[in-house]
Amino acid sequence: MPRLVSERTFLAGKIIFNFGQSTIDCVVRRMSEDGATLEMQSSLGVPERFQLRLASQEMLSCRVLWRSDQQVGVALGADDRAAAPTENEQERSADSLVRSQMLALRAALDLVPLGVVLLDASLRAQLINRAFRRMWLLPDDVANSNPSFATLMHHGRDTQAYEIEPAELDVYVEERVRQIQAGDTSPRDLRRTSGEVVRMQCTPLPDGGRMLTYTPVTDIVRYSDELKLLRDALENVEDGILLLDRDLNASFMNRRMRRFWDVSDEEADGRPSYASLVRRPHRAIAPDLAANEAAQFAAKRVDEVEAGDHVRDLQTPDGRRIRAHCTTMANGGRMLTYVDITDLTKKAALLETLATTDSLTGLSNRRHFLESLDAEWSRFQRYYRSVSVLMLDIDHFKSVNDRYGHAVGDEAIKAVAEACLAGKRKSDLVGRIGGEEFAVLLPETSLSRAKIVAERIRKHVMAARLNTHQVQFGVTVSIGIAEATVSMSGIDALMRAADDALYRAKAEG
């Protein structure tokens, strides 16, 4: 094969054919003593043989070896002799075929979007494609001079292409040269001052050379950086986060979840199944679940997550409340978030207690009592189950306040409340309706049975004793009883009936 010579690039040339009647302007690139690559607007009109006039007015005979849309590779010095080829000519023909293949390969490498550099055994560049030249702003005269890899690195240093501190640049260049000399095949991301990222990979060649490829990966690395930032953020949030793939295997669980399930980092990297996680000894189950149902809860929980979006409240073995949100992801997986709502639950229960409880006695307040009565009224209408109401009023309460003071009056109210609680049944509800007025809701209770409860409460009230100013005294109550009937219009009518009975009791002493 002919010896390698430095390639030349001519800015302009002219293709002449059809006995000088037709011409096509072109740019001559990578010209050697044997061939060249010609670039024009379209290669369709270029004949197989023609004359090439260079800018120096030199005329060369050319034969097309290969062509693409805008380029043709030619052999230089071709003639039109049609005589039978001699043995030497056959050898030259084989050499031309090899050269044409090499030129075609060089042209193809020039068209690929990634940078390519071919180095010989001494790490001097034998080919630098166009993408690499554009990528690193490498002038053609430098690229065509067979520069060493160190020269290319120094060019990047001198043009401030690397996102490296100036004091560290020389060390960086020396390290990169050592890596190429050693044939290190590990891909490396090169960050440029423009913000772009290029992934370089070295491939050792059989002749001792190296092929270097430079792939723009700015978007990939940016997405990777953003993903890492997101994972770091999720890793440190207070809530538990679990990502499952479409097969319900854990693709990510943050520190809070690993700590909750007592899962090591190695176990988490093994992508455990969700089914195995919810069966671990330290797990959360539905609140107030019966013992015989707890064993089946893990399978039920897996079915819930597989079904998709939902919210489920859970309780841990140490009594904490967890609210789990399950969201179906676009890839078919699931995202589960676990929020500790123990304090929120306690506050909600406290607010519910404050909203439904009388602060002095601890009994149901008027609103809660009437709501409960309304629910029982609905059952009465639907199933015709008996329901009765007791109305109680402390006798001569004003005189107690006037004689002993409001503090003793409050003690009297609390004493009656305790007597009502002591005399009622488990299913009954006691409420404080007004100042010294009380009501007792008796579900599924007839008038005759209600009288028994009323009598028991009256006796508990009479047994209660109050002490003030070294004087011990007791209080009594009047009780009105009413049972719901189908002729009543609603709970207001039932309450009026009980209230009317109360006033009759007071009037009768």
Q: Could you give the dihedral angle defined by the CA atoms of residues 330, 333, 339 and 340, in that order, rounded to the nearest 10 degrees?
A: 170
pLDDT, position 79: 56
Q: Report d(CA 100, CA 35) in Å as an integer.
A: 8
* DSSP conformational letter for 93: H
pLDDT, position 162: 84
423 within 8 A of 450, measured Cβ to Cβ:
no
pLDDT(88) > 70:
no
3-state helix, strand, coil in the chain (%, to 5): 40, 30, 30
Q: Report d(CA 121, CA 62) in Å as an integer.
A: 33
* CA distance readout (Å), 117 to 28, 81, 179, 229: 21, 39, 15, 34
pLDDT digits (tens, 9 = 90+) for 386-409: 999 999 999 988 888 888 888 888
419 within 8 A of 457, measured Cβ to Cβ:
yes
pLDDT, position 221: 73
Q: Can you give the pTM of this predicted structure?
A: 0.44
User: 89 falls in which pLDDT band (50, 70, 90)?
Assistant: low
Mean pLDDT over each residue of the chain, to the nearest integer: 85
Burial (CB < 10 A; 0-12, 13-18, 19+), residue 444, is middle
**Alpha helices, H only, 183-319:** 218-236, 255-261, 265-269, 274-277, 291-307
CA-based nearest residue to 376, from 445, 431, 280, 322: 445
pLDDT digits (tens, 9 = 90+) for 42-60: 888 889 899 999 877 888 8
Partners of 59 in beta bridges: 53
Q: Report d(CA 258, CA 240) in Å as an integer.
A: 9
441 within 8 A of 428, measured Cβ to Cβ:
yes
